[in-house]
Structure 1
Amino acid sequence: MLTSCPSPLARASDLTPLSASRQRRWLGTLLLLLALCASLALSVAFGARVTHWADITGLLDGSLDSMAEAAVASRLPRTLLAMLAGAALGVSGAVMQGLTRNPLADPGLLGVNAGAALAVVIGIAWFGIQQASDYLWLAILGAGLSAVVVYLIASLGRGGATPLRLALSGAVISAALSSLSTAIILPRADIGGLIQSWLIGGVGGATWAQITPALPFLLSGLLICGLSARRLNLLALGDDMASGLGERVARVRVMAALGAILLCGGITAVCGPIAFVGLVVPHVCRLMVGSDYRWILPLSALAGALLLTSADILGRLIARPAELDVGIMTALVGAPFFIWIVRRHKVKSL
């Protein structure tokens, strides 16, 4: 029995959508890289003190002969921290949305940031902890415990942890933990001002000594999340389908959640709790590259770094010569985006 062979033109037309999708993904990646490089240059150049290109290039020989060159040197760790924080929060938000299949999943909305913040506040107020390396362990422990509590509460009752229950449980736990942090801080005038500023979330005053202890946690978290990308694609098909394809769903969830918690806890210890980055960035990346987490995760890192660095630049320029913390700027962007997502996905019906 003879079968007709498709013509070369038909074969080319079949490949066109896939080729166009791949080209769109690579184009989006290139544009994000270019925009991130531009934001890096702007972040080093702009601040309370006016600097020029000569001041930036003057650092190449290691000299700090002028106040302008010293100002540029102080912006380098701040810029790196903004990029690391944005990448960590963007990737952790994407992983949480993939694990829970919840479009509203975010380290801030699910109470993970609040748990990390409360653990650090307790360590400072009750145990006198002052070292950044100790903040990291406390923040990661608090982030992990709060994530477990939110999931357990959302799992109670018939139907399990639905997206709506996760969002509501996260909001309640986040409010409760934030209230506890405030209750601990208020009687302590000696540490209240410092901690209140940290709780807003920001990258101002960053130093290399603050960033270095967090790097192993952040790199480990990024590596674990990156290795989970293919498995997150399987989880998107549903637990039963993923199990039928030979995937160990429970182990995948634990490993991916561990990576996200390392990222959230590590960056919260250094910057304070910064909300909405993990919510906004993955949705934007899905519009660019579709639902494949092998593309969503790396692009979330790039887009998150771009968003937080740009927010930091705007915060410096809007209130110049003072500045607005980056946590305030991301809230201004994220709150309207949150409302749009709720309306688009009709979360009330889930």
Structure 2
Amino acid sequence: MPAVVTTRRRRLFGLLVLAVLLLCAVAASISLGSRLLPLHTVWDALTCPGGLPLSCPAQGTAEQIVRELRLPRTGLALITGLALGMAGALIQGYTRNPLADAGLLGINAGAAFLAALSIHLLALTSAAQFIWFAFAGALLAGAVVFGVSSLGGGKASPLSLVLAGAAVTAFLQAMTNVVVLLDSSALDAYRFWVVGDVAGHDVSVFWQVLPFLIAGAILAVIAGPGLNLLQLGDDVALGLGVNLGRTRALGLTAVVLLAGGATAAVGPIAFLGLIVPHLARSITGPDYRWLLPYSGVIGAITLLIADTAGRLIAPPGEIQAGVTLAALGAPFFILLVRRRKLVSL
């Protein structure tokens, strides 16, 4: 019992430390950029907009930068990073595959395909308009991957899931390329979205995706205890009273809401869902009751840092957060494969 209490206190302390780091990342995201804004100026812009210039020296351009540009951008990075981190942990848990994420299992490609198709057929131009299509694409892609991996009466093994996900992803990417090449207007809207970036989005996008990401996060937390039992094997979990179908359906719904909503808002963000759960697992261990909140907070911190770093690397221009994360994620992916000896030459 003392060991359990000590472990719980250590994990709670870890969450507190991460919360402090998250606040620091939020502050840096709002204050840093092509124009450096001191924290007191940011505070003035947030607490007394439209006030007298003497009492609120942040009036004018600085206030516009904070309230109209950086605050919506920071909020979007916060919620989408949290969503992608939790979605990655769920996918790795349900597939029992340390190399699984929303991109490898076709969910991002499904969301991207229907987003591009809706842009082409319905002349939609913003994430707020095609979010439902992205959700539908994520759901269909996930269902197809799990269905194909279970063909022949077999179970969806980690290897079959990855192979099916690679095949579905390749097919959907090809279909997406056909759509954007047929329609120049769809290409213009899609190529900005597909890079994966939290910049350039209206604040309405934040409010559009927020309810779905909150719902997905709640479902993910509810699914945590059942996911712990599934790690013991289907037979043991069934003997302990777990409804396998309902538990997996709950987890898949959470993944679709989290990964589909985040992808619809900011585009596909590569490697975030792969890297973050491993970082969280090194702190919490395999207990998904703690792994999921840790993955969410670390995901938010990671995306905020990547977005902020992208503004500082090549001023006055910017490097998109998706590009920054891909540059960091690819070496991590290779290191992970070699350390776990999943391949041999």
Which TM-score band (shorter chain)?
Answer: over 0.9
Counterpart residue identity of residue 37, structure 2: T
- 2:183 is matched with 188
Distance 2:39 2:94 in 1: 45
- 2:53 is matched with none
Distance 1:252 1:115 in 2: 23
Distance 1:347 1:221 in 2: 31
Say which SS state the counterpart of residue 102 (structure 2) adopts: coil
- 1:35 is matched with 21
Tell me if the contact between 2:49 and 2:63 (Cα under 8 Å) persists in the aligned partners.
no
- 1:270 is matched with 265
Displacement of 1:17: 3.6
- Deviations 1:165-197 (CA, angstroms, capped at 9, x unpaired): 212221222122122212211232223222101
Displacement of 1:265: 1.1
Say which SS state the counterpart of residue 327 (structure 1) adopts: helix
Larger radius of gyration: 1
Which of 205, 214, 230 in structure 1 is aligned with 2:200?
205
Say which SS state the counterpart of residue 267 (structure 1) adopts: helix
Displacement of 1:144: 0.6
- 1:25 is matched with 11
Distance 1:219 1:89 in 2: 12
- 1:65 is matched with 59
Tell me if the contact between 1:24 and 1:288 (Cα under 8 Å) persists in the aligned partners.
no
Change in Cα spacing, 1:225 to 1:23, as seen in structure 2 (3 Å) is same
Q: Which moved more, 1:254-263 or 1:153-162?
A: 153-162
Q: How does 1:109-258 map to 2 (within 5 A)?
A: 109-130=104-125, 132-157=127-152, 160-258=155-253
Distance 1:282 1:95 in 2: 9
Distance 1:284 1:263 in 2: 19
Distance 2:338 2:182 in 1: 41
Displacement of 1:337: 1.7
Distance 2:343 2:146 in 1: 19
Distance 2:59 2:7 in 1: 51
Structure 2: state its 5+ residue gaps.
51-57
Percent identity, aligned pairs only, is 42
Tell me if the contact between 1:226 and 1:297 (Cα under 8 Å) persists in the aligned partners.
yes
Counterpart residue identity of residue 69, structure 1: E
- Deviations 1:15-47 (CA, angstroms, capped at 9, x unpaired): 554344223312321221111110000000011
- 1:324 is matched with 319
Tell me if the contact between 2:220 and 2:251 (Cα under 8 Å) persists in the aligned partners.
yes
Distance 1:149 1:346 in 2: 29
Displacement of 1:158: 7.7
- 1:56 is matched with 42
Say which SS state the counterpart of residue 108 (structure 1) adopts: coil
- Deviations 1:52-92 (CA, angstroms, capped at 9, x unpaired): 23421221111363212211221001001001011000111
Tell me if the contact between 1:289 and 1:295 (Cα under 8 Å) persists in the aligned partners.
yes
- Deviations 1:237-258 (CA, angstroms, capped at 9, x unpaired): 1111110001100110001110
TM-score by length of 1: 0.91
Which of 281, 289, 302 in structure 2 is aligned with 1:286?
281
Counterpart residue identity of residue 38, structure 2: H
Displacement of 1:95: 0.9
Tell me if the contact between 1:45 and 1:51 (Cα under 8 Å) persists in the aligned partners.
yes
Displacement of 1:157: 4.9
Tell me if the contact between 1:103 and 1:345 (Cα under 8 Å) persists in the aligned partners.
no
Say which SS state the counterpart of residue 347 (structure 1) adopts: coil
Distance 2:336 2:163 in 1: 15
- Deviations 1:283-318 (CA, angstroms, capped at 9, x unpaired): 111110111111011111110100000100111111
Distance 1:160 1:342 in 2: 24
Tell me if the contact between 2:21 and 2:301 (Cα under 8 Å) persists in the aligned partners.
yes
Displacement of 1:279: 0.8
- 2:341 is matched with 346
Displacement of 1:159: 5.2
Tell me if the contact between 1:139 and 1:268 (Cα under 8 Å) persists in the aligned partners.
yes
Structure 1: state its 5+ residue gaps.
1-14
